[in-house]
Chain A
Amino acid sequence: MEIETEIRKFVAAHYLPDSPVEAITDTMPLITSGIIDSIGMLGLVDFIENHYAIEFMPREIDVHALDTVERIASLIRAKLSGSKTDISPA
């Protein structure tokens, strides 16, 4: 399954119950909009770390870098490929 789809499914199931997966677009702000709060972010990071067997550094826990499905997916891809991650806010 595509990373974007997996993230969308996780977000729908945990933070937007009763909403269809399609309601979550790739560019929809998830954290800055309030859909996912601080504790929710912890759940999201846990899911990503476990599901993709990657580990975040403290500096990578960034509201902007994790704010949309698109940015989360690109962060995961960058970490999976071992390249240096870009966490600068878009």
Chain B
Amino acid sequence: MPGPESELLHEWLRHSAELAPDAIAIIEEDRVTSFGELLAQTQSLAVRFCQHGIQPRDRIALALPKNTDAIVAVFASLLAGAIYVPIHPRWPQERVDAVLAECGARLLIEAGEAGPRIVDLGSGACIEWLTPEETETDLALLPQLTAEDTAFILFTSGSTGRPKGVELSHRAVGAFVRWTAQEFQISSGDRIACPSPLGFDLSTFDIFNMALCGATVVLVPDNIVWMPRFLVQFVRESRISCWYSVPSILAGMLQGGHMAAHCYPQLRLILFAGEVFPAPALVKLRAAVPEALCANLYGPTETNVVTWRSVPPEFDGSQPLSIGYPCPYAAVRIDAGSGELLAGGDSLMRGYWNRPDETKRSFVMLDGILYYRTGDRVSVAPDGSYLFAGRLDRQVKRRGFRIELGEIEAALLSNEDILEAAVVAVEGEQEAVMIAAFVRLSSPGAVNTADIKVHCGRRLPSYMLPDRIVFLDAIAKSSRGKIDYLALGKMAERLKRGD
């Protein structure tokens, strides 16, 4: 029996399934899957991948909604030595095509009328999703892997207009998940909610703690994630014990007293990451679930979580909560000149897929340790923890999703009626980020707001779409002829205030 000491994510599943085959692994609304069933389906699909000729490091694109089949496909890809690439089923086709091309996916798994459909993107051949059980001989087809092998690629916003793929190894993901399991005492009795899409690194906590600890993962239906009333009901009725999401989702549940109106006796752990949690909302969270441990986790996709802190009992919201102290597997330091947080250690990415130059630029070697330049400015608080102090570039966060404003500009400029485009974000302490796009058209009225939104909607995921489109005869420039983002930012602030 493989021990839990294995560093391979799929070995964790095998271990848990052998220990307790009848325990519940996944709950997806009315569909309940045991560890034994999950392992059997996973092995069967992995064998089919190998029989089809899938080789280690081949990419398998998963464009399924977040359901049981998607998790089967995740573990089957890993077992076959392939690299899975999550694709959100609601991404516009252009972005899907760009990601498929960028990663050179060999297989695409998407939702079909009668279950998942697996297509070989080279030959056009289809692979059956369900087939008879495999034999022992078939299982011998599965390759031997090491912890350094890549597990998956997560695509994130790219400043030049092309999304970029962050390549993460079994070791990198394992370092984070193992630490959470130990630090937060995750066990087979836990019910872990999975509110995030599989393409978002937060979901690794949910699905891989299920595999490592034999816990149950409860999939949150996508249509209610942003519907606080239903989400609160879901947490209560599903008896969720561990929750990990972006603060925006929690803040939504706290608004209007939805969350405070009920008790959650099982909810013992609330983790959040991806953006700043407005301090007053955090105070409300503590009041709504006083028994739960609440903790702030910090780290970009490239390093996963590298610092953390629990919310102290005396936290009153008068000061922002810091991003805490380094995780035991992380190496963290501050660049003395710029104040940039540099992060390395076991959870560090292998690099950006197929982009050696960009990878090289994003890393720095100091005293024999490889660090990722996070682009986040930090300072050190009196208690020695790190305080987030903003970005060094034009990246912004909205609902925890990161957005390179340059990618929105590139999408706007792909419209032939838009001659110039500049995008700015207005951030407030309490309110959501507002993204304003300033455009100069080829002729007045050539396109309207709706046309531009629809044009962007064909290229960008919905969280990246600008809230306001402002038509200008000329876009403010500095004396050197560069776009004056400062002036545009002030205009956007006035727009937000409604001046």
Contacts and interface: CB of A to CB of B under 8 A. Distances in A.
A2 interface: no
A61 B460 contact: no
Contact of A42 (B90, B221, B227, B450): B227
A65 B37 CA distance: 34
A58 interface: yes
A85 interface: no
A17 B221 CA distance: 31
B223 A34 contact: no
Contacts of A34: 92, 453-454, 456-458, 460, 462, 465
A61 B457 contact: no
Contacts of B457: 33-35
A63 B453 contact: no
A41 interface: yes
B11 to A, nearest CB: 36
A3 interface: no
B468 interface: yes
A34 to B, nearest CB: 2
Interface string B190-227: 00000000000000000000000000000001011111
A19 B449 contact: yes
A11 to B, nearest CB: 10
A33 B449 contact: no
A63 B223 contact: yes
Contacts of A62: 223
Contact of B450 (A35, A37, A38): A35
Interface size class of A (residues with CB under 8 A): 20 to 34
Given A34-B460, A37-B463, A39-B432, A16 B226 contact: no
A17 B449 contact: yes
Contacts of B90: 32, 63
Interface string A1-31: 0000000000000011111000110001000
Nearest to A34: B457
Interface of A is mostly: loop
Contacts of B468: 17
Nearest to A25: B450
Contact of A33 (B224, B228, B252, B453): B453
Contact of A23 (B223, B226, B399, B448): B448
B469 interface: yes
B453 A41 contact: no
Nearest to A41: B226
A58 B230 CA distance: 6
A38 B448 contact: no
Contacts of B224: 58, 61
Contact of A35 (B226, B454, B463): B454
Given A19-B450, A34-B454, A58 B223 contact: yes
B246 to A, nearest CB: 12
Given A19-B449, A34-B92, A42 B465 contact: no
A28 B451 CA distance: 11
Contacts of B450: 16, 19, 23-24, 28, 35
A61 B227 contact: yes
A35 to B, nearest CB: 5
Interface in B430-474: 432, 448-450, 453-454, 456-458, 460, 462-463, 465, 468-469
A23 B450 CA distance: 8
B462 A37 contact: yes
A48 to B, nearest CB: 13
B48 to A, nearest CB: 30
A20 to B, nearest CB: 8
A33 B448 contact: no
B491 to A, nearest CB: 14
A45 B227 contact: yes
A53 B226 CA distance: 21
Given A19-B448, A34-B460, 9 more contacts: A15-B453, A23-B448, A28-B450, A34-B453, A34-B454, A38-B225, A58-B224, A58-B233, A62-B223
27 contacts: A16-B449, A16-B453, A18-B448, A19-B448, A23-B448, A24-B450, A28-B450, A32-B90, A33-B457, A34-B453, A34-B454, A34-B456, A34-B457, A34-B465, A37-B463, A37-B465, A38-B225, A38-B226, A42-B227, A45-B227, A58-B221, A58-B223, A58-B233, A58-B234, A61-B224, A61-B230, A62-B223
